[in-house]
Structure 1
């Protein structure tokens, strides 16, 4: 999943508009964020840093590389993520698993077709 798709997913999970997200990053208008979301721009380091400062609950590994959960699991009660955020994390993980299963099924179907074509399987 590309970073612009992860950003869109983050905005959706936060339940805010793109404009509100941009304002939280210190942008008066949402143009830069819109361009990033549509793949016309890649986020610069300072933009990514602003996201992680504005939303400290966001997992930097997930934001940068798509690894792990969207939100950090924190041990401090005052900084703990909400049940709603945990549910969003679970929904995202299920979405990723479904994508992987579909890809595996497609690969399996292609291999089976090739095996039938070559006479290895009837």
Structure 2
């Protein structure tokens, strides 16, 4: 999953528009974010840093590398608590990632099985 995909998922999970997301980052218009989302430009370090400062609940490892959950658990307080809806989104995303990994493992397993079958056939052919 690309960083553009993760940003799109984040905006959807925050349930805000791209323009509202951009404005929270200090942008007057949403063009920069739209360009990033459509792959016309990569997010710069300062943009990623702003995202993590403006949305402290966002897991930096997830945003940068796609590792872990979208939202991190913060110290429990009324203003920083992760909502049940955010936790459900995290679980849905985690299940999505697990399904992708399972599919990749299944594909690798199938390839290995085919290679073993070919090797067995070669050994049988050479022995006979």
TM-score relative to the length of structure 1: 0.89
- Tell me the residue number matched to 1:105: 106
Counterpart Cα distance in 2 of 1:76 and 1:115: 53
* Offset at residue 65 of structure 1 (A): 2.0
* Offset at residue 67 of structure 1 (A): 2.1
Query: Which runs of structure 1 show a deviation greater than 4 angstroms over 4 or more consecutive aligned residues?
Result: none
* Offset at residue 54 of structure 1 (A): 1.7
Say what the alpha-carbon RMSD is for the aligned residues.
1.4
Deviations 1:4-57 (A, max 9, x none): 111111011111221221121121221111111122211111111211122121
1:70 aligns with 2:70: yes
Gaps of 5+ in 1: none
Counterpart Cα distance in 2 of 1:49 and 1:119: 54
> Which structure has the bigger radius of gyration?
2
Counterpart Cα distance in 2 of 1:112 and 1:29: 53
1:56 aligns with 2:56: yes
- Matches for 1:2-81 after TM superposition, within 5 Å: 2-78=2-78, 79-81=80-82
Gaps of 5+ in 2: 122-128
Deviations 1:49-89 (A, max 9, x none): 21112212111222122222211211222211000000100
Counterpart Cα distance in 1 of 2:96 and 2:112: 24
TM-score relative to the length of structure 2: 0.85
* Offset at residue 99 of structure 1 (A): 0.1
Counterpart Cα distance in 1 of 2:97 and 2:41: 24
